[in-house]
Structure 1
C-alpha cells in the first residue's frame, strides 16, 4: 500500500512552518540545513519577517540557489515599511556562530537524521544551549511509518544515519527540554491511509519547542564580536520605506501620478465649460473641481504670473495643482508624507518639480496641444489648510464625487 500525500509531504512541512510564523509573528527566522533554499523562497513573502537566515554545509548549492531570493521588480515599485534582510551562510550546524544567537524561530526540516549521533548531541548544544531561539521546529522521518512504503528496505534515504521511532524522538526532545530549559509538543504531517494514525503516527514527526524564559537578549556587539564559524555567502537587503532614498522616490512618483490625474480631470471640466459657453449658457459644475468656472478672459496661468514678473513670454503655460488637493486626493501621499507641511518641504527640496511662488501648489506644464490656462485653486478642496488632517470621511466623499 503506497501512501498518497496531497499536497506533497515537503509542502506540508513548509506550510506547517508558515502557519507557525503567522501565528507567532516571528521577526527573526533561521533555516538550518536550508539546502536549495525552497523554504526561504516561500518565507521571503511573509513581511512580518525582518531577518531571514539560511545555513547549509553545502555552500555551492546555496550559492547556486540563493539568487532566487533577490527582490522582485514589484518589491522596488511598491516597497513597504517593513525591512527584510536575507543572509545565507555556509557552515555546519554543529558549530556555534554568535550572529545567529537570540532568534525568534529556528527551523530544521529533515536534517538531524543526516547527522551521526555524536553530532546530534553537538547540534542540540549549539542550537538550544548557545543560539537559544525562542521557538524551534524540528522535523524528522518516523520509522514506524516506513512499512507503508512498498519495497522500502532500510532507511528512506541513503545518507540517513538513523530514523527514530516516535518514542525515540520524544525521548530526545524531552532530554533537550530538561537540559536547556524548553517545553515541547510533538505533532507531525503526512497522515497514513485508512485511519491508522494511532498505530503508526505521522510520516514526518515534528517537535515544536518553546523557550521557558522567552527571548534571549543579545546585543549587536555580542553578535559581531562573538564566535563566528560560518561563511557569509549572500546578504540581500530589500527596498523599504524606512530607507529615506526609497521613501523620497516612491512619494515623488505618487505625487506626480496624482497631479497628472487631477490635471486630466480639470482639463475635462474645462472642455465641458467651453462647450456650454458656445451655447451662450453658464452653469455650475459639480464634477472634480466642484466650482463655477470663470470666464476665459479672467483665467490666470502660473506662466502668466511669471511673465508679469519679467520672465520669458515663450514659457509654456502651467496648471497649478494645490498641495492640499493632492494630499486629500491620495491616501498614499498622505501616509507617506505625514502632513501637508511635510509634503511641501519635501517638494521644495526636490529639484525635478516646480512649486508656485508661495509653495502652496505644484506647477505642471500643459501639453503642446492644450490651449487651457488656469489653476485648480478654485476646486472644492481649496479650503483644506496646510497642517490640517484630512479625515477618512472626507477622502470617501472625494472618491464619491
Structure 2
C-alpha cells in the first residue's frame, strides 16, 4: 500500500531515519524492539559506531528463520574491523522486564506500539522508559490523519493494528511519558504528503525522539540500586564479529601484514642488488669468453691432452674446473650449449652471495628483514603492533614467523636463489661435476670454492 506512493519506500525512510540518528550520535549499545525479520538490524551491523546490537521480538519462529542473516560475512574475517560488535536476538514481550536490556544508549520502536492494546502500551511505557531507561528512544507509529490520502482505504492500515493515533493523540502520550519518566521529546516524521497538505495531514509515519534528562549520568545512577534483576527473555542468537580487539585475530592479521611487508622489502632489495650486479656480470661474461677463446687455441695444439683446466675469475674467489679425458671436439660441443653458460653464470652469482657455503647448504639461505625497518616502512604494521616491543612479542609467539636469534628481525627463505640452484641442477651441470670427479674423487667443488 505504501510502496507505490513513496520513493524510497516508507519502511526504508523509517530505517534511514534511525541510521542517520546513529551516525550523528554514535550510540554504543542499540536495541531494536519488535525487530521481526531483522531488516533494520541487518543494515545497522554495517555501521560500526556501536559495540552491541540487540533485537527483541515476541515471534521466536521468525527470529530463528532470519537470525542467520546476521552472521558475519567472509569480508569481516578477511578484513576485521578495529571496532567490536556483538549481535544478540531475544524472544520476549516488550511488556516484560529483563535486566540484560537495561541502560542502552538507544532503543528503537519502529511501527510497534500500534500492535499493542492500550493497556499494553502503558506497560510498554513503564518497561521501556522506566525500567530499561535508555539514553534515547525513537518511536514511530502510523499517523491516522494521513489515511485519507490512501485511495479506497478505510479503517486501519494493517489488520493487526489495535489503534492508529492522530498527531494530537501521539503528542499527548509522548508528553505524559516525558513527565512520568524524565525525558524530553521532539516530533518529526517521514513520508511527506503532497505539496500544500503538510499542515492538514502531517507525515505518513509520525516519529517521537526522546532524550533522557541528564543523559548517561542519570542512567548510571539508576542502575546502582540493589533491586533484584529479572530475566524474562530467551536468548536465541549471539555472535561476536571478528575484531582486532580479539588477540588471536589481531595476531593473525599482524603476521599477514608483517610477512607481506617483509617480502616486499626483500624483493625490492633483490631488484636493487641485481641491478647493480648486472653491469658487473656483463663485464665478467666478456672476460670469461676472452679467456675461453685462448683455451680453445691451446686445445687445438694439444688435442689429446689428458687433463684440461679452465680458469674462471670470480670476484674475491676462483673456481677451477677439471675436465679429464675429454678431447677438444667433445668440449666444443658442450660449450655450444647455452644452458652450460647460463649455469656457470648463475653459479658465479651464487658464489658471490655465499649460497654454496657448506654451513648453509643443508639449512638454506635466509634474508633478514629488521623489525625496525618494517615498523618505520609499513604503517599498518605500526598501527597493529602498538609498539615495537609488543610487535616482537606477538611475532615470537606465532609458529608461522621465524625471528632472528635476538628477535630483532624476520627471517625469510631466499626463494629466488633456491630456484636458481634448482635451475643449475636441471641444466646438466651436475653431470659435468660428476665427470670432473671421475678421475680425482677426492676433489670437491664446494671445498675448492
Question: What TM-score do the two structures reach when normalised by structure 2?
Answer: 0.74
Equivalent residue number for residue 84 of structure 1: 85
8 Å CA contact 1:95, 1:229 repeated in 2: yes
Equivalent residue number for residue 247 of structure 1: 250
In structure 2, distance between residues paired with 1:36 and 1:65: 6
**Structure 2 vs 1, CA of residues 219 and 234 (structure 1 numbering), >3 Å: closer, same or farther?**
farther
**2:237 alignment partner, SS class:** strand
In structure 2, distance between residues paired with 1:68 and 1:300: 57
Equivalent residue number for residue 110 of structure 1: 111
Equivalent residue number for residue 261 of structure 1: 264
Equivalent residue number for residue 386 of structure 1: none
Q: Does 1:179 align with 2:227?
A: no
In structure 2, distance between residues paired with 1:222 and 1:248: 41
8 Å CA contact 1:88, 1:234 repeated in 2: yes
8 Å CA contact 1:255, 1:326 repeated in 2: yes
In structure 2, distance between residues paired with 1:70 and 1:64: 13
8 Å CA contact 1:98, 1:224 repeated in 2: no
List 4+ stretches of structure 1 deviating above 3 A. 218-225, 294-301
**Structure 2 vs 1, CA of residues 222 and 278 (structure 1 numbering), >3 Å: closer, same or farther?**
farther
1:54-133 equivalence runs, <5 A: 54-133=55-134
In structure 2, distance between residues paired with 1:181 and 1:221: 18
**2:76 alignment partner, SS class:** helix
8 Å CA contact 1:99, 1:223 repeated in 2: no
Equivalent residue number for residue 31 of structure 1: 32
**1:256 alignment partner, SS class:** helix
After superposition, the CA RMSD in angstroms is 2.5
In structure 1, distance between residues paired with 2:54 and 2:378: 37
In structure 1, distance between residues paired with 2:47 and 2:376: 31
Q: Does 1:274 align with 2:298?
A: no
Equivalent residue number for residue 142 of structure 1: 143
The match for 2:363 among 284, 305, 315 is 315
How big is each residue's C-alpha offset from its partner over 1:53-84, in whole Å with a ceiling of 9 and x where there is no partner?
Answer: 10000001011111111111111111122111
How far 1:265 moved relative to its partner?
1.9
The match for 1:337 among 385, 393, 396 is 385
8 Å CA contact 1:50, 1:84 repeated in 2: yes
How far 1:267 moved relative to its partner?
2.5
8 Å CA contact 2:188, 2:207 repeated in 1: yes
Which protein is bigger by CA-based radius of gyration?
A: 2
In structure 2, distance between residues paired with 1:360 and 1:194: 71
Equivalent residue number for residue 379 of structure 1: none
In structure 2, distance between residues paired with 1:219 and 1:174: 21
How far 1:48 moved relative to its partner?
1.1
How far 1:314 moved relative to its partner?
1.9
How big is each residue's C-alpha offset from its partner over 1:103-162, in whole Å with a ceiling of 9 and x where there is no partner?
Answer: 100000000000010000010011011111010000000010001001101000000011
8 Å CA contact 2:255, 2:401 repeated in 1: no
Equivalent residue number for residue 437 of structure 2: none
In structure 2, distance between residues paired with 1:40 and 1:99: 18
**1:87 alignment partner, SS class:** strand
Q: 1 or 2 for the larger relative contact order (CA 8 Å, sep ≥6)?
A: 1
Equivalent residue number for residue 290 of structure 1: none
How big is each residue's C-alpha offset from its partner over 1:239-263, in whole Å with a ceiling of 9 and x where there is no partner?
Answer: 1111111111111111111112222
In structure 1, distance between residues paired with 2:123 and 2:67: 27
In structure 2, distance between residues paired with 1:76 and 1:247: 11
8 Å CA contact 2:57, 2:91 repeated in 1: yes
Equivalent residue number for residue 363 of structure 1: 411
1:188-337 equivalence runs, <5 A: 188-215=189-216, 216-217=219-220, 226-280=229-283, 299=353, 308=359, 313-337=361-385
How far 1:4 moved relative to its partner?
2.1
How far 1:219 moved relative to its partner?
9.8
**Structure 2 vs 1, CA of residues 324 and 364 (structure 1 numbering), >3 Å: closer, same or farther?**
same
Give structure 1 stretches of 5+ with no counterpart. Answer: 282-293, 373-401
How big is each residue's C-alpha offset from its partner over 1:148-179, in whole Å with a ceiling of 9 and x where there is no partner?
Answer: 00110100000001100000000000110111
